Each structure stands twice: as structure tokens, then as C-alpha cells.
A = this chain, B = another copy of it.
Amino acid sequence: MVTTVVDARAVADGLAATAVADRLAACAQVGGPVDSTYRWRGEVETATEWSVQFKTAPDRVAALVDRIRADHPYDVPEILVSRGVECGDPAYAAWVRENTRV
């Protein structure tokens, strides 16, 4: 599973659509808003952001991350890769794999 956040809902929707269209993920879910507090160039700032959670096959994680980095508007985007997430239904894992082949 790969997740990111971005400060515009339309951009989040675009990252989700692109990943599925290009078979970099079988599914992408846009959620939020969340209110983020962070330190940037020494100052504490806040922003409203939307999250995108991508479901992809292990062998497609690197390509998906590269694509998110290329398309993301932030200089230093939060892109998190969660290892150790297993599918409870084997059919779901097969579906993810099938829909991330090119």
C-alpha cells in the first residue's frame, strides 16, 4: 500500500485517476480533508490536505512511487510505502495483481 497527501482535492483526484488509468494501481481512494501541522523552513504551518491511498502489487510499487513523485506539486512530497500489509482475501490479491499488469 502506498499513500500520499496533497493540498488540493482536484490534484488528489488526478493522482488517483492517473494511477488506475496507467495500471500502476488497481484501486486508489481519496479521503479527507485532514488538517496538517508541520514545520517548514523553521516555522510551524498548517494546511488542509486530502489523502490518496493506492493499492498495488509489490512489483509495481517502485513505478507507482516514481509516478507520484513526478506528478506531485510539492517539492518534498509525503509518499509512504507500507510494507507488511497482507490481503485477507486471496481473490483480492489476485485482482490487484491482474489489474496492475501492462
Query: Which residues of chain A have a CB within 8 Å of any CB of chain B?
Result: 1-2, 5, 13, 16-17, 20-21, 23, 26-39, 44, 49, 51, 53, 55, 65, 68-69, 75-89, 91-92, 95, 99
Instruction: Note all chain B residues with C-beta closer than 8 A to A2.
Output: 88
Asked whether, in the complex, the Cβ of B30 is within 8 Å of the Cβ of A31, the reply is no
Residue among B1, B21, B81, B88 making CB contact with A69, cutoff 8 Å: B88
Asked whether, in the complex, the Cβ of A80 is within 8 Å of the Cβ of B85, the reply is yes
Asked whether, in the complex, the Cβ of A95 is within 8 Å of the Cβ of B81, the reply is no
Residue among B38, B51, B75 making CB contact with A28, cutoff 8 Å: B38
Number of copies: 3
A87, B69: Cα distance in complex, Å:
12
Instruction: Note all chain B residues with C-beta closer than 8 A to A1.
Output: 80
Contacts A28-B36, A34-B30 hold; do A80 and B76 have CB atoms under 8 A apart? no
Asked whether, in the complex, the Cβ of B91 is within 8 Å of the Cβ of A81, the reply is no
Asked whether, in the complex, the Cβ of A30 is within 8 Å of the Cβ of B35, the reply is yes
